[in-house]
Structure 1
Amino acid sequence: MFRRLTAGAALLAAALGLAGPASAAEAPLRDLADARGIYLGTAVTGGRLTGGYADTAAAQFGSVTPGNEMKWGSVEPVRGQFSWTGADRVVDFAEAHGQEVRGHTLVWHSQLPSWVENGTWTPDALRAVMTDHVTTEVGRYKGRVDHWDVVNEPLNEDGTLRRSVFGATLGESYIADAFRAARAADPAARLYVNDYSTDGLGAKSDGMYALVERLLAQGVPIDGVGFQAHLILGQVPSTLEANLRRFAELGVDVAITELDVRMTLPATDAKLAQQKADYAAVTRACLAVTRCAGLTVWGFTDSDSWIPDFFPGQGAATPYDESLNPKPAYAGIAEALGPVTPPGPAGCAAAYAVQSQWGGGFTGQVTVRNTGTAPLTGWKVTWEYPAGQRVTQAWNAGVTQTGTTVTATHLAYNGTVPAGGSTVFGFNASWTGANPPPPTLTCS
């Protein structure tokens, strides 16, 4: 894999007297993100990777996503005839500038060539065509693409399976088939399902959550869930962080994959200030979730944004204006990413809540929060039940009970909690007579 330059590499360059930012406030976004343990990426148009556009993309972003160059209609417009020029241009650019690549996208209902979308398919024939396409494309870029959006936008707004040519012909099984083909073609790449309108809690995100649960139960090699986050000014979902966290607690990575924040034109100072706050809020939500791998803006300049063509009268959705000048949104991202607080002590606090209760039983939830300024590495929560309650089942923690003492410890995937971040675990328990909460919880 080709990885982004680390913050340490930037410091080394400064020590050697090479050109670089004069202060932390002027550090490129990619370095600020790297110092926080995530990537900051952008979608690009391969044909524009020259001049100031290329210079900005290379300097500021540690990951690139081909906007269109890897989609099925671009790479295989005729069955069995592949065109790699555009995709190669983006991958070569990333390698030349120490950037990761997010492959987008292998199986999608849109931008399909006519021979796929309008073909007359038996299930076996379509499955073979799809897996052959996935195998060929992933295999070509084996070791060169870090993340793949394997299946894109598989769900309807109500969380049910979209009736695309794939969904209608193969049912939900096409998703598992695509992931298995991608894993076989490049075992090292991280494989994602990606969709829009799943950013906050709701019917569509619930449908995605249930889909990921089913895929994991089937042993499908899914590594992550992408949240597109094509947002409207002032409408960042209040449940974004909680939603990202619940997916992470399934044991998969999460990522913001296509972020933009559109507004009704013309842009004003007040609108740009709100957009700055929105970009910062999304960045902070990612940072607060341990398994959030990174954040990608869907085009970094307004001159390369899809919004005006699809939403007449709206635009100005990206961190740079059409002349490649950074907007307040750029500062919002930078301020959310840094400067990094110097290492300090970790802190641990736990909060207990009863989610639901019935005769003789209840479901509880404990939130573990890092109240310190350094990552919390490993945690344990203990409490004493005052009325003889007994834990019968638990998830997202290893829970044991001896007498009235309950001990919960982290699992492999949620043991590290970033400063200011949190994780949750749940359990079912029995009670008789009364169900008072434990008077205190000890978190260490």
Structure 2
Amino acid sequence: MSFRKFVDKRWAAATGAASVAATAAALLTLAAPGTSAAAAGLGGVAESSGRYVGTAVDPNRYTDGSYGTILDTEFNSVTAENAMKWDALQPSRGQYNWAQADRIMQRAEATGQMVRGHTLVWHSQTPSWVQNLSATELRQVMVDHITTVMTRYKGRIAHWDVVNEAFNDDGSRRQSFWQQKLGDSYIADAFRAARAADPSAKLYINDYSTDAINAKSTAIYNLVRQFKQQGVPIDGVGFQAHLIINQVPGDFRQNLQRFADLGVDVAITELDIRMQTPSDAQKLATQKADYQKSFAACWAVTRCKGVTIWGITDKFSWIPDVFPGQGAALVWNESYQKKPAYDGAVAGMGGTTPTTTTTTTTTDDGPPPGDGCTATYRIVNQWGGGFQAEVRVTADGPISGWAVSWTFTGGERISQIWNATASGTSGAITARNVSYNGNLGAGASTTFGFVGSGAPGTPTATCSAA
């Protein structure tokens, strides 16, 4: 599946589908009064091939200019830039602050975006009270933190960066306080705790300077291979890809592919491509080509799930503070204008730059079920008492919306759904498109999915198009 949007069951049950829609509309209005969401955007282009394009977000910037509008209309995935790191969530032992992380979750769920969790175990941005613990206490606190955070967002966060930046550039283990006190086993212990806390989440190890085949990426490759042999639960590898113009590795695709061949997913998790400032036309053209190369490397690997651009606008990029004299690393400039890099990203996905169009369709009674689109229902995973299903909607001709109907006859019940809204949870179900995946060209397709309880059946799904 391409990506997941999990709705908080308690919230959905309390508010109902109408209130969820109203919340989404309210958030969009807050971001940009008087405007409407774009039909596609980068996330829409990615979704057509079953992937995501995401961005790193700071909820304190939601009301800054066009930040909120671009966030809601251009991306189908978000990552918390800082709000889910240890120092933000548990600054004092046992005292959790969920406010900022919850804001990100609520907005993402209202707009139908997948959430990537970042990050659980990292040597940086971890409070001193953690670093000063004894080895015995440190191991237990690590497990407790992972369990508490992942349990709160269980079934709602699709991917977690469980361990972040655990290796040096030469391939040796980073001598962080985690490594020094707990030894090599702490990474495996973290992944086991994460799997126990949320069996549905995809668990990633994440690092930088691993985009090429080099000592560091090979060390992580060997670790993943070892974990697969030992049964340590690991689902994916994240490649941060903080790059410099004209330095995208020539073996980027081959590197992603060798990890995929181990049986794990891969993703570009923190992409930005910086330059010496000020920018000029030549630098921006090089940056465009480099964004295209980076996206194309992912799109060439079947198990590459998507790309997260580390921020929306150069106005808020972390680059100038860390690399003096460098910047302009993102695809929107400081005035929220698209840069050539935007078109490079689209080209790397094999698409064309999306435009917003208005189409008026006149019908008498609307199309009958099955007219204009087809739906394919399949079970992609199952376990004792539950299952995961995916439905692919394919347009016969250009459509601006769709509804898929089926009936559960064996007592199945939907507990979580993404990329669609559903009319109910059991019996006769109708799932409808959300804002970003209703417009499909002839032959184009999109997917939605859900987690259900009960023994999965194989119902016949019918599709109606608008």
Indicate whether the TM-score tops 0.5: yes
Q: Verify the 8 A CA contact 2:37 2:72 in the aligned structure 1.
A: no
Query: Structure 1 stretches of 5 or more lacking a match?
Result: 5-17, 341-444
Percent of aligned positions with the same letter in both sequences? 58
Q: How many Å apart are 1:72 and its aligned residue?
A: 0.4
Which residue in the other structure is 1:144 paired with?
Answer: 156
Q: CA deviation at 1:3?
A: 6.4
Distance 2:86 2:351 in 1: 41
Match of 2:268 among 238, 243, 256: 256
Q: 1:116 Cα deviation (Å)?
A: 1.1
Relative to structure 2, which stretch is displaced further, 211-220 or 262-271? 211-220
Tell me which residue corresponds to 2:172: 160
SS of residue paired to 1:237: coil
Report how far residue 37 of structure 1 moved: 1.6
Take 1:69 and 1:3, find their aligned partners in 2: how far apart are those partners? 19
Q: Contact 2:117–2:157 (CA<8 Å) still a contact in 1?
A: yes
Task: List 4+ stretches of structure 1 deviating above 3 A.
Answer: 18-22
For each residue in 1:196-215, what CA deviation from the matched residue of structure 2 results, as whole angstroms up to 9, or x when unmatched? 00000111111110111111
Aligned counterpart in structure 1 of residue 240 of structure 2, from 228, 235, 252: 228
The 1-side partners of 2:114 and 2:93 are apart by 29
2:88 to 68, 74, 78: 74
Instruction: Give the whole-Å Cα distance in 1 for the aligned partners of 2:253 and 2:194.
Output: 29
User: Shift of the alpha carbon at 1:336?
Assistant: 2.0
Whole-Å Cα distance in 1 between the matches of residues 82 and 217 of structure 2? 25
Matches within 5 A, 1:20-419: 27-50=40-63, 51-117=65-131, 119-122=132-135, 124-339=136-351
CA-CA distance at 1:329 after TM superposition: 0.5
Q: Is the 8 A contact 2:37 2:73 kept in 1?
A: no
CA distance in 2, matches of 1:21, 1:63: 15
- Structure 2 regions of 5+ residues with no counterpart? 8-34, 353-466
SS of 1:94's equivalent? helix
Q: Is the 8 A contact 2:171 2:217 kept in 1?
A: yes
Partner Cα separation in structure 2 for residue 139 and residue 248 of structure 1: 28
Give, in angstroms, the shift of residue 21 of structure 1.
5.6
Distance (whole Å) between structure 2 residues aligned to residue 135 and residue 94 of structure 1 = 22
Question: Is the 2:38–2:73 contact (alpha carbons within 8 Å) kept by the matching residues of 1?
Answer: no
Measure the CA separation in 2 of the matches of 1:21 and 1:154: 39
Deviations 1:384-409 (A, max 9, x none): xxxxxxxxxxxxxxxxxxxxxxxxxx
For CA contacts below 8 A with separation 6 or more, give which structure has more relative contact order.
2
CA displacement, residues 182-201 of structure 1 (integer Å, 9 cap, x when unaligned)? 11111101100000000001
Contact 2:203 2:234 (8 Å CA) reproduced: yes
What SS does the corresponding residue of 2:243 show, helix, strand or coil? strand
Q: Give the CA deviation at 1:36.
A: 1.5
Task: Please provide the CA RMSD for this pair.
Answer: 1.6
Deviation of residue 83 (structure 1)? 0.4
| Residues 214 and 289 (structure 1), Cα distance of their counterparts in 2 relative to 1, 3 Å cut | same
Measured in 1, the distance between the counterparts of 2:255 and 2:6 equals 28
SS of equivalent to 2:66: helix
Shift of 1:20: 6.7
Counterparts of 2:293 and 2:351 in 1: how far apart (Å)?
16
Which residue is equivalent to 1:360?
none
Distance in 2, matches of 1:19 and 1:82, equals 36
CA distance, structure 2, for counterparts of residue 98 and residue 116 of structure 1:
35
CA distance in 2 between counterparts of 1:221 and 1:231 reads 29
The change in CA–CA distance for 1:3 and 1:140 in structure 2 (over 3 A counts) is closer
Which residue of 2 is the match for residue 436 of structure 1? none
Q: Which amino acid aligns with 1:31?
A: G
Residue 308 of structure 1 aligns to a residue whose secondary structure is: helix
**Distance in 1 between the 2:59 and 2:165 partners?**
23
| Structure 1 letter corresponding to 2:5 | F
